[in-house]
Amino acid sequence: MSATTNHPPLRIAPFRAPTARLALKTVSTSRGSLDGAWWPHSRDLAHELSALADVLDPLSGRITRIAVNPTYWPAIPSSVPVNGHLVKLRWFTTELDPHKILLLSHTTGSWNLLVVPPEAGAAAAGRLMTAASDGSGPPTTASALIAAEHALHGGSVTDRDQDSEEPWEEGDDASSCRTAGARTSLLITAN
């Protein structure tokens, strides 16, 4: 007697290290308007969101929905693959800060993250990630942090820092950002 199955054979997939540059408040920190910051590598939202959600999904329970403001994203997909399931993506122009992303899950409720512009220099990104993940200051908005960075350090956040010792390049480890943002509570970086 023989048995047949409709299931495809199992495939071995190589381990893929997380690629998100992410700083989060600690769990014990009171959650305010921001829960941390995310510094994407590019404006390719489909690719960048998959990497971000792949990291947050195991930490916070299954990510079910993602909301963004389309102001700084050239293309917005309707869904992104995350750890073997599809997550629906929605955009809001007036309801959501253009410098913020919202990830919803079944267990933690939501993650409100400052989106550091991909073009930001390492020093500016470090300061912004530290400010967004620091639970000791008063609650602030993503746009207020971007505006404060611009006011305190001049130029645009998207300008590369001219006085930075070296830019954060592909392959740099988390210590590069820890130097720029020493108080970051949780920092997840990889190639």
pLDDT, tens digit, 9 for 90 and up, residues 126-156: 999 999 988 777 778 899 999 999 888 876 5
> What token pair was written down for 188?
């997840």
Q: Does residue 12 register a pLDDT over 90?
A: no
Q: Enter the pTM of the model.
A: 0.71
Q: Which residues pair with 186 in a beta bridge?
A: 24
CA–CA distance from 18 to each of 6, 21, 54, 166, 191 (Å)?
32, 9, 7, 23, 7
Q: What are phi and psi of 179, to 5 degrees?
A: -65, -45
Residues in the chain: 191
CB-CB contact of 161 with 124 (8 Å)? yes
Q: Which helix (H) or strand (E) holds 90?
A: strand 85-91
Distance CA 89, CA 116 (A): 19
Four-residue CA torsion sign, 8, 12, 14, 18: positive
DSSP alpha helix (H) spans, the chain: 45-60, 122-133, 142-153, 175-180
DSSP annotation of 71 reads G
**Res 2: pLDDT:** 56
Residue boundaries of the structural domains of the chain = 22-188
User: Residue 164: helix, strand or coil by DSSP?
Assistant: coil
pLDDT bucket at 161, cuts 50 / 70 / 90: very low
Q: Does residue 168 register a pLDDT over 70?
A: no
> What token pair was written down for 112?
């409100």
Q: Which residues pair with 187 in a beta bridge?
A: 23
**Res 71: pLDDT:** 93
Q: Does residue 174 register a pLDDT over 70?
A: no
pLDDT digits (tens, 9 = 90+) for 71-109: 999 999 999 888 888 999 999 988 899 999 999 987 777
DSSP alpha helix (H) spans, 4-163: 45-60, 122-133, 142-153
